[in-house]
Amino acid sequence: MLIRSQDKEILVNMETSIVFHISGVIGKKYPIFVYWKGNGYVIGFYSTKVKAMKVLDMIQEAYADAELIPMTVPNIGKMFAKATASKENELLAEAMGKALMNKMVFQMPEDSEVEV
């Protein structure tokens, strides 16, 4: 799974990142850092530690969902292989493909988008 930073300038691969953590306060905001090969990158800032913790929970849930996709896709493929060819089924397959792709990238939410 990939994570896109709030400012959209950093794309993190969950498979190669080592640690995600909430740092101390920087400028009255709580940053979430990710570390890779000894370098730290801020991927989001939140107004409270509770909001930052909620975002870590959201990342955890998104990662768990993304891990299910490789198990699900073969079954979906078999289902569509057996289905009658039609424009409706083609559109459905396309929509499902896009939905699965969206599950593979987590966009760091803005502070205002995090409800606690």
8 pLDDT band (50/70/90 cuts)?
A: very high
Output DSSP code: residue 108: P
Read off the pLDDT of residues 51-109 as tens digits, 9 standing for 90 and up: 999 999 999 999 988 887 777 767 677 776 777 778 887 777 777 777 777 778 899 99
In the prediction, which pLDDT does 80 show? 67
Distance CA 104, CA 97 (A): 11
- pLDDT tens, residue by residue, 24-67: 889 899 999 999 888 899 999 999 999 999 999 999 999 988 88
Number of H helices, E strands in the chain: 2, 6
Task: Compute the distance between CA of residue 56 and CA of residue 91 in angstroms, rounded to an integer.
Answer: 34
Alpha helices in 83-112 (DSSP H): 87-103
Place of tokens 């691969």: 13
Check pLDDT > 70 for residue 111.
yes
